[in-house]
Amino acid sequence: MKLLKYIIKRKVFISLLVILIIFLGSYAFLNLDRELTPVVDLNGASIEVDAGDLTVADVKSNITTPLEQELQKIDGVNKIESTTYFGGSSIQASFEDGYDKDLGRELETIVQSFKNNSSVIKKVDVSRNGSGTKYGFILDISGGDMSEMTEFASSVLKPRLEQLPEVQDVKFSGIKDLGMILKEPKNHY
């Protein structure tokens, strides 16, 4: 109650205080840096390796394991996770907090050097994790026949996306998920 009486008695002071707050807020709003999509760095990098038609065992022994060992030697790399599949490998490298900004370039240099020394690697794509990467939109197509999904993606989806003025490049990659279901035979006694 005393605070309310104080505010009522000091009308001029409170009015000036409100005007000052509005003025400072307007000044801050007009001078604030704004971006529609600010660059966000997520302390890591993704490495996609295309090895053509190599089997999973060959990709694991010739590419994934040796490349992981090379990447572990880099100071500032915190953790490495990989997925090996038929014809390729996907490696995720996490950087330590407060890492050097040149760490991404060093990682890319090592990966490119590894590619140049290997005859089985067809293509390597290294990209930093975050919003400043080359590809900002990821679309997952799954649940159908592989040849139908590939045909749809390459003949329908890709041309339509490339027609958009905002789109610079469209890249497709995928994994064929092979599985096996084992059923126990029914015993007829």
pLDDT in tens, the chain (189 residues): 787 787 778 888 888 999 999 999 999 888 877 766 666 667 888 888 888 888 888 889 888 899 898 888 888 888 899 888 888 888 888 888 877 677 778 888 888 888 888 888 888 888 877 766 666 667 777 778 878 888 888 899 888 988 888 887 887 766 666 666 666 777 665
The pLDDT assigned to 189 comes to 58
Q: How far apart are CA 81 and CA 68, in angstroms?
A: 8
Inter-CA distances, 138 with 34, 85, 110, 170, 186, Å: 25, 20, 26, 10, 45
Give all strands (DSSP E) within 70-153, no chain letters. Answer: 77-85, 88-95, 123-130
Q: What is the DSSP string of 9-61?
A: HTHHHHHHHHHHHHHHHHHHHHHS---SS---EEEEEEEEEE-TT--HHHHII
Predicted model pTM = 0.58
Output the pLDDT for position 24: 94
Predicted confidence at residue 188, as pLDDT, reads: 60
Nearest residue to 41 via CA among 135, 136, 129, 134: 129
pLDDT value at position 107? 83
C-alpha 144: how far from its chain's center? 25
Q: For residue 17, how far is the Cα from the chain centroid? A: 47
Distances in whole angstroms, Cα of residue 171 to Cα of each of 101, 153, 167: 26, 10, 11
Write down the pLDDT at residue 20.
Answer: 95
| Per-residue pLDDT at 21 | 95
What are the helix and strand counts (H, E) for the chain? 7, 4
